[in-house]
């Protein structure tokens, strides 16, 4: 199943008094480019996180953010820090000795002093293990989002392929008619110019011109490229670059077709081909 390079996923994991929140998003990029923002406590996980992302995502710019938050419903077992409080009170006594008119700190001011209240620190090993689990879950969701978008793009591409097939199928039977129309116009011009040409030489020139204007090979190659796109879309691998190359070849054949035809009906078909191919090119840019 083809995968898009665009997607977003988020997960939350609770670890004791804390929550680990992953947000992972990806956008189009020529290669795989991973950027991570991790809390300082978990910075050492960056290499392993990038390795796990690379095992799931093959193309795209991936940005991952991990936040460490306190779980709102959890209450910490807060304790007083005797050392910090004792040091603070000693400093206060020194100030009051020098400045007796100074007001002593209130209980609430003491409790708000940085470091007076101690809260249990998260267990680092638990955080690390949960961070990896959360990333794996986010990557599963991201992969699913990218595949869902990829399936939509594949359907759009197949619709355009069907459109090209219809045009090729309509144009092929008309080539003989177009050649006859061109032949009649050429003979009409020669007649207006009142030129005397040997019938045999005239037929040779018409045959050479018809050969230069023949687009049967271009139609065959257009049909062949369409079949190759359809087969490529069935592959369970990164197909974006391959499809991009095929679209370039498809566009080259369409341009050659449009430049060779000298018939109004066929020229309109050439314009329709180029519109469909341009739409396909834009969609292929989003595929992994």
Predicted model pTM: 0.70
Q: Name the residue range of residue 133's domain.
A: 7-73+125-145
93 located within any domain: yes
- CATH assignment of the domain containing 155: 1.20.120
179 located within any domain: yes
Q: How far is CA 278 from the centre of its chain?
A: 18
DSSP assigned state of 7: E
Q: How far apart are CA 191 and CA 194, in angstroms?
A: 5
Residues 211, 239 within the same domain: yes
Residues 262, 176 within the same domain: yes
Neighbours of 25 (CB within 10 A): 18
Residues 194, 268 within the same domain: yes
More confident residue, 112 or 147: 147
2 located within any domain: no
Mean pLDDT, rounded, for 121-134? 86
DSSP assigned state of 31: S
pLDDT tens digit sequence for 60-111: 999 999 999 876 654 455 666 777 778 878 888 888 888 888 888 787 776 6
Per the structure, the count of domains in the chain is: 3
CA distances from 145 to 6, 26, 174 (A): 8, 10, 45
pLDDT tens digit sequence for 141-173: 999 999 999 999 999 999 999 999 999 998 877
Residues 109, 136 within the same domain: no
Percent of the chain with pLDDT over 70: 80
Residues 57, 140 within the same domain: yes
Q: List the Cα angle 223/224/229 in 5-degree steps.
A: 95
């Amino acid at each position: 199943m083809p995968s898009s390079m665009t997607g977003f996923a988020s997960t939350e994991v609770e670890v004791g008094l804390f929550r680990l929140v992953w947000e992972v998003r990806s956008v189009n990029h020529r290669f795989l480019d991973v950027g991570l923002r991790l809390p300082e406590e978990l910075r050492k996980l960056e290499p392993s996180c990038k390795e796990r992302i690379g095992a799931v995502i093959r193309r795209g710019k991936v940005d991952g953010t991990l936040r460490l938050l306190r779980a709102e419903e959890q209450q910490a077992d807060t304790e007083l820090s005797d050392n910090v409080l004792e040091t603070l009170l000693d400093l206060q006594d020194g100030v009051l000795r020098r400045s007796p008119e100074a007001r002593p700190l209130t209980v609430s001011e003491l409790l708000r002093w940085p470091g007076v209240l101690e809260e249990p620190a998260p267990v680092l090993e638990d955080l690390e293990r949960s961070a990896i689990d959360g990333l794996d879950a986010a990557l599963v969701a991201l992969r699913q989002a990218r595949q869902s978008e990829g399936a939509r793009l594949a359907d759009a591409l197949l619709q355009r392929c069907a459109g090209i097939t219809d045009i090729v199928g309509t144009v092929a039977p008309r080539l003989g008619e177009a050649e006859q129309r061109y032949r009649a116009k050429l003979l009409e011009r020669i007649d207006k110019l009142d030129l005397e040409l040997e019938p045999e030489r005239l037929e040779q020139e018409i045959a050479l011109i018809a050969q230069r204007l023949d687009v049967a090979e271009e139609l065959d190659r257009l049909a062949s490229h369409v079949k190759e796109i359809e087969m490529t879309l069935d592959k369970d691998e990164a197909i974006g670059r391959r499809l991009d190359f095929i679209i370039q070849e498809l566009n080259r054949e369409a341009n050659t077709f449009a430049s060779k035809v000298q018939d109004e009906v066929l020229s309109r078909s050439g314009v329709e081909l180029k519109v469909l191919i341009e739409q396909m090119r834009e969609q292929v840019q989003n595929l992994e």
